[in-house]
Each structure stands twice: as C-alpha cells, then as structure tokens.
Structure 1
C-alpha cells in the first residue's frame, strides 16, 4: 500500500462527542482524493476510552483510520505518538473540539503549494451555545483565531489546531514536540519558534477555517482568564529557554505595566457594568503572565490523570 499524501491527526482525551464531530468532518473533505489520505486518532487517556468510538467511526471512513493509544499523559506525548504512526508527507492537525467544513483541507494544501510553505494556518471560529448569555461575545472571541483576509506569507505563527505541516521541514519528523510542555501547553509554540529561527516559511489560508465548540467547562471566565495568564507567560518563558536575561526582564516590565493599566480599566468597567470588562481583564491577565512566568505560577492544562 502506497503512503498517503496527507495524514490527518486528531488528539483526544475523554471528549467522545466532540471527537465524533471532528472525525466525521474529515470524512466529508472535498477537492482531494480519499486515497491520498489517512486519519490518525491518538487517545491520551490512561484507559483506551476512545477506542470503541474510533473503531465504529472507521467503518464509515473513505480512507484508513488508525487508532493510537498513548497512556502517558501530556499534549506533546499525544502529538508525538500520532506522528510516529502517521505516514503522510504532510500532517494536518485538527482538535477534538473542532469541525472542518468540506473545503478545509483543500484550502490548506492550496496555500502550501502557492507559497511553498513549511506550515500553513487557518482561521478558527469559536462557537458558544445559545444558552450562554454572559460574556458570550468575549468567549467566542477567545476561542477564535483571526488573521488576514487574504492568503499570504506570515512573519509569525499560530497554534497547532487547524494547521498543515510539511513533514520534511520539521526538525524531527517523528517526534517534533517537546515534552517539557506536556502539561502546560505551548509545545507547538516551541516547535514553530524553532522553525522560524531556521528560516521556515509560514502561510495563512483564510478559506481553511474551522468551527471550535469548547466543552461547557471551558466557557467560563475562570477558565479563559487562567488560560490568558498562561498565554502571557509564553514570551518570558521562551526567553528563559534561550537564556536571554535581558529579554526576560523586558517582557516582565512590559507585563507589569499591562497588568497595572488594564487591571485598573477592567475594575472600572466592571463597576459600571461594561460589556468590555472581560476583554480588558483578559489583557490584564496576559500582562501578569509575562511577569509571573516561572515554576510556581505555571498552570497545568494538559496531561492530568482522571480522579480515581
């Protein structure tokens, strides 16, 4: 059997409903031959809780579906386990809370060809249930990814969900994601940052958009503000990895100023009942993350074993 042109990868952990939606959306892709595709679903639960679901979905699939069980918790562990099984020259990542329209993959591939890109990113459209009334606009914005209106090369990068990677461009084509980010996330930032330093080409495909349907537990300010704080830690943490003390100091000072200014504005907005309160609080949290970025302040979002 010849190797597929594209390996679709969906990491999952105890989200069977979202996984089912994501997987079925890959079956509906148009503009590319099914014979050139495969799907790898990697289950990062301690128990193989997604196996029966994936095997049932495989019976509907127009291309091979490979189930991988990676019991060792961690987002990098999961991605690397899938990469080790994937055989495609290109790797397309979709999250288990995302749903891809029919032209998604074809749009990613078209942008890759047009710009000879090493990585292509597409937009994400956050979608909150109608019953979510409080801060709904902010929550949908938080879970969205917005970029240029036109397809183009980028001088920056986004996250791994809704992306296409050229395998031969990766520093390590089998296990490119660093285990040091297993539990806090940002394993994709480390990879793409290293690729940028090596001169890799990043592109944007506005037609390659996907829906994102966060689980209800994430549709709260408690979750998003903690996540915003963690996002803010990124620049300072990256400088620490590079032993760039001046960079760390610079980002910490910037973050302190942002936290102070946006924190004061957010407090005023809350007192007057402004709908912008959540957006401003988010910016304050990102600033504080730049300042408080080291060990005790790291927040674990991934790789947690279920309670027993």
Structure 2
C-alpha cells in the first residue's frame, strides 16, 4: 500500500469531476506511492455515486466514494480525511486537472524540503469569459510562485497541495466547520500551522489547470471573491485577538481602496481592460475594512446547493 491519497471534494460538477479524475488516473511514476483516490460527494442527493461506479474500472488505484450529505466545504474535506489513513494527503479541486507529473512533483518537493505543506502552480482557464476580462480572470484563477522548487515563507490555498497528515492535519476534523459556507477553511488551517512553526514548500513542476465554469467567469464573481480574500488578514488577526493587527489591516485596506479605487475610475473612463486588476485591488482593500460577520460572502455549502437548485 502506498502512503499518499488524493482527495477530491465535489458538488454537482459531473463533467469537471470526470476530467479531474482522469487526470489523476494518468499520473506517472507514483504507482508505489498512491494508495487511493477519495471522492467526497457533498451533494445531499449523492449525485456523483453512479459516475464513480462507472469510472472505477479506469483507475489503477482504489477509487473511494464518500457521501457527505451536509453541504459544507470543510465538512467535505474532513469526511475525505476520515476515509483514508494515508500519511500524506494531496488535494485536487473538482474544477482542476493535473499534469501527468503532478503528484510525483509534489512528493519530490516534500521529500526535498521536509515541508509540512507543499503547493504547486495553477494555470487558470476561463473559456466562457468576455474577451476583455479573460486575461484578468485567468490570472485570478491561476497561481504562480517561484521558478524553482524549495521552501517558501507563506502558504497558498488547499487546491493543488500535499499535506503531511501528522503535522499539518491535526485531529479528526482539522478543517473548521465555521468556514463551511464562506470558504477560507484552508486559511485557518495554515495560519494555525504557521503559528506552530510549520514549514511550507513549493513544487515548481506540480502544475494543474483550473477551469472556471461560466457562472464564475464573470467580473462580479471574481470581485466578490477578491473582497473575501481581502477579509482574510483582518479576520485572521481578529481570530488571534490581535486588535492592533486588525486596526493595522483596516488602515491598509482603506488606503488601498482609496488609491486603487481612484485609479480604477480613471481607467474605466477610457475603457481600459486593465481596469479589472484595479477593481480587484480595490475590492481586496474594502474587504480588509469590512471583515466582520455579516459581510462574509457565501460561496459553498448551502449557498451553492441553492444556486444549483435555481439553475
């Protein structure tokens, strides 16, 4: 049995889930390391079950189906962890597709750096976006890092990552259910890991593609996410009861909102496509100011189920 499991949470994305799974089936050089592929179906209707049954014959590794009927991104991740005892956990989102050397590159980087959590680059794809927005959105959904594999100072998000279970995923439910509907469960996890002295690594060759579905390939969706990302530093400081830190981030955010907002207005008047980047920076600044409960956008869990039920 191998020592690493790939965990893919999903919620009613059959086509992209199939693409993600087939990309894992095609992984090279990890035959002795990969113990299982765990798919966590977060749909109350368990809609992914039949697909997983159909795809099992295409996988060289055990394909494990887990139903977590209570919608929530943290619950889904925790349910997946409960289904495997692998000592290393690789996370792939259901809208991502891994390159053939993805998992091998993550494993090599972890071995080389000794990091508790290793992250890789993401190439964003937004085929349904308006032409003037596509470059911005593909950068937004993408992720770049150092050109070389090695240790890095700060973590990235959970999508396209490899975590050492013993140090990075403590307890039976390491992802906070408080973030079930808003996201940010990985930010909370990695902030706690950083506070414990955990180390983060970068795997330059562990590339995946992330495909933004049509409802996400819009300026409104991206700016709402940017606002939520902006809330992160203030919320992290507040969770640590670091009130001087909260004030500092709010002042920074107000300055960003004012400066980038003015620049965005100027570019809007001349219809420059570069205005999208400045809208983004403005939204992140506003998020640092309005970080409190009641201002948190909801992207996952019950909110996503409600959106799917409307479509």
- Class of the TM-score when normalised by the shorter of the 2 chains: over 0.9
- Residue 15 of structure 2 is matched in structure 1 by 17
Match of 2:154 in 1: 156
The one of 117, 120, 123 equivalent to 2:121 is 123
Tell me if the contact between 1:34 and 1:62 (Cα under 8 Å) persists in the aligned partners.
Answer: no
What secondary structure does 1:71 align onto? Answer: coil
**Mapping 1:129-278, distance limit 5 Å:** 129=127, 132-278=130-276
TM-score by length of 1: 0.97
Q: 1:244 to 1:98 in 2, by over 3 A?
A: same
**Aligned-partner Cα distance in 1 for 2:227–2:117:** 26
On the 8 A contact 1:58/1:64 being kept in 2, the answer is yes
Superposed displacement of residue 295, structure 1: 1.3
Q: Alignment length, in residue pairs?
A: 306
Partners of 1:189 and 1:215 lie apart in 2 by: 23
Q: How far did 1:130 drift?
A: 7.0
User: What residue is the counterpart of 1:74 in the other structure?
Assistant: 72
The Cα shift of 1:128 comes to 1.9
Deviations along 1:56-82, one digit per CA (max 9) or x if unpaired, are 111211010110010111100000000
Q: Deviations over 1:164-208 (max 9, x none)?
A: 001111352532101111111110011011111111111001100
> Taking structure 2 as the reference length, what is the TM-score of the superposition?
0.96
Maintained 8 Å contact 2:128/2:213: no
SS of the residue 1:218 aligns to = coil
Cα gap change, 1:267 to 1:69, in 2 (>3 Å): same
CA distance in 2, matches of 1:85, 1:212: 25
- 1:111 has 2:109 as partner: yes
Cα distance change of structure 1 residues 302 and 94 upon mapping to structure 2, 3 Å threshold: same
Counterpart for residue 290 of structure 1: 288
Helix, strand or coil: the match of 2:175?
coil
Structure 1 residue runs of 4 or more that deviate by more than 2 Å after TM superposition: 34-37, 305-308
What CA distance in whole angstroms lies between the structure 1 residues aligned with 2:151 and 2:116? Answer: 11
Consecutive unaligned residues of structure 2, counting only runs of 5 or more, are none
Deviations along 1:77-126, whole A, 9 cap, x unmatched? 00000000022110000000000011000000000000111110000000
Q: Which moved more, 1:281-290 or 1:197-206?
A: 197-206
Tell me, yes or no, if the aligned pair for 2:13 and 2:94 is still in contact at 8 Å. yes
Q: Distance in 1 between matches of 2:64 and 2:211?
A: 24
